[in-house]
Copies of this chain bind each other. A is one copy, B any other.
């Protein structure tokens, strides 16, 4: 285990110096808070992460959940963690005060969750899922549903889940077949199968509350017939007692990583006795669920950035200690070996990791800021922030997920053979993080979402707002001599994005939808690189100001490091858009024309 899984200095830098979180306290909603209370909260999150989560990080992987007698047993500390999460208010961290929540801005809650995920991703998922499910009930549920379910969930005694996927309906949610049959008793009778349900059942809680998608009997085909239900493992009977609700756990999946959290297969209503309670309007389920899914997508990006961060710090610690080889220019074998962090290629790998991890986190907090501003502002300004958040969500989910894998792989590589062995945590990070490009929508799905929906919605309004945001950052950076060249480079990158986008809009008019969207995943990658470059330029602008103010040496190490990571991103990552753009302007339909039978043999 490395002694450290993230940089608190970096969290402070991003929240205070870059995104000015305290500026939100001028709004009524957050007026109870100030910089000090935000700081205390981060400190409390660190204490919980360091004291309870990080020590069991490897243990939970080595002793994954077991499925015994229709029951899933999880690590003993999960109960304690969920109780602490309830007591400490972590589950209701972003819920309103009136429901016992802490009503904190997203920027802060995102950072707190990031801390838990960096310490122990599998553990952190349990309360996060409950929080997301609770918010859905709060926003769309009837009063009695709220009263019946929220207290148990917010106290950490009950688990919440998202129950969407079915054996024949993963990416294609329109094909779910779980059925809800209306009764005259205020509930629906539920029947179906759900798979891949994270924390879908376990013995660290008294009850599990599924926020489940199903189709009301006779509903229209496709997504227009999907409704949202609360389906508890144990329902509350007339006497207020918890009784079984015919939700059977029929198995768990054995996974590459992320092993501390059970992924369940659920059988619903096998004995015709499963009650479900409608949340929101009939046939509006997907729309409601999208609130949770969009938050969950930012959450997945945060989890990915968190694991990449922890992996980076583990690789950094090893690279400082491990002696191997000598400087290339002084290969005298009688000299002592040097720490590998002195080798340029190791520094390159570390800078790569830092630029991915810290660039991703900045982008995520930027999304948090848009969410916060959307919640406190009104009218045009509210819409603007909502649109920017909508546009960036597929990127904030996918970029950290995809690049996090490469970053962690580079971390493992720093350790050589040791990275491949379980004496060090890198191999686990490598396994854990592989889930991120898959869950909450695969990268391919997010490519389609970005190019096929977000960029063109409202006549490209979100896209234009995005261009303005980046252009503003370019102008501000351009005022600093140290950043002039980089500001120009991002300007050129933005022009390339516009050229590619314009080309694709032309394709959309002339060609089939298949050809227009064939390389949407590459477009997502291109957009992601430019977005993270933007976030690095924003950070660098703060850094240059700080360095001019002559900090203490230890502080200038931090800022100098930031500046090198920024330069690294512009020198090594940003140029990747050249190759992507070259492909994206060629709509030859190669992958459309390739026939399945050509893969034969």
Chain A positions near chain B (C-beta within 8 angstroms) = 7, 9-10, 165, 168-172, 174-175, 195-196, 221-223, 253-258, 316, 320, 323-329, 331-334, 337, 339, 341-351, 354, 405, 409, 412-413, 416-417, 419-423, 427, 430-431, 434-435, 437-439, 442-444, 447-448, 452, 512-514, 517-522, 554, 557-558, 560-561, 564, 567-568, 571-572, 575-580, 582-583, 586, 588, 590-601
Contact of A348 among B421, B513, B518 (CB under 8 A): B518
Q: Is A417 in contact with B196, judged by CB distance below 8 angstroms?
A: yes
Q: Is A571 in contact with B586, judged by CB distance below 8 angstroms?
A: yes
Nearest neighbor of A597 in chain B, beta-carbon distance = B557
Q: Is A591 in contact with B351, judged by CB distance below 8 angstroms?
A: yes
Nearest neighbor of A601 in chain B, beta-carbon distance = B9
Q: Is B337 in contact with A175, judged by CB distance below 8 angstroms?
A: yes
Q: Which residues of B contact A513 (CB under 8 A)?
A: 328-329
Q: Which residues of B contact A591 (CB under 8 A)?
A: 344-345, 347-348, 351, 568
User: How many copies of this kind of chain does the complex include?
Assistant: 2
In the bound complex, CA of A173 to CA of B332 (Å): 13
Q: Is B557 in contact with A598, judged by CB distance below 8 angstroms?
A: yes
Nearest neighbor of A345 in chain B, beta-carbon distance = B444
Q: Is B439 in contact with A600, judged by CB distance below 8 angstroms?
A: no
Contact of A409 among B405, B420, B572 (CB under 8 A): B405
Contact of A416 among B324, B332, B438, B514 (CB under 8 A): B438
Q: Which residues of B contact A343 (CB under 8 A)?
A: 444
Q: Which residues of B contact A405 (CB under 8 A)?
A: 409
Q: Is B442 in contact with A599, judged by CB distance below 8 angstroms?
A: no
Nearest neighbor of A515 in chain B, beta-carbon distance = B344
Q: Is B521 in contact with A345, judged by CB distance below 8 angstroms?
A: yes
Q: Which residues of B contact A417 (CB under 8 A)?
A: 165, 170, 195-196, 253, 438-439
Q: Is A430 in contact with B333, judged by CB distance below 8 angstroms?
A: no
Q: How far is the CB of A118 from the nearest CB of chain B, in Å?
A: 15
In the bound complex, CA of A165 to CA of B418 (Å): 12
Given A328-B514, A583-B572, A594 and B256 contact (CB-CB distance below 8 Å) = no
Known: A254-B421, A561-B599, A568-B590. 11 other contacts (CB 8 A): A172-B324, A223-B333, A256-B421, A320-B599, A341-B599, A345-B520, A347-B592, A348-B518, A416-B442, A564-B594, A578-B582
In the bound complex, CA of A337 to CA of B343 (Å): 53
Q: Is A435 in contact with B420, judged by CB distance below 8 angstroms?
A: yes
Q: Kindly list the 7 A-B residue pairs having the minimum CB-CB distance in the complex, ordered from nearest.
A: A222-B333, A575-B579, A561-B598, A256-B427, A578-B578, A172-B325, A344-B591
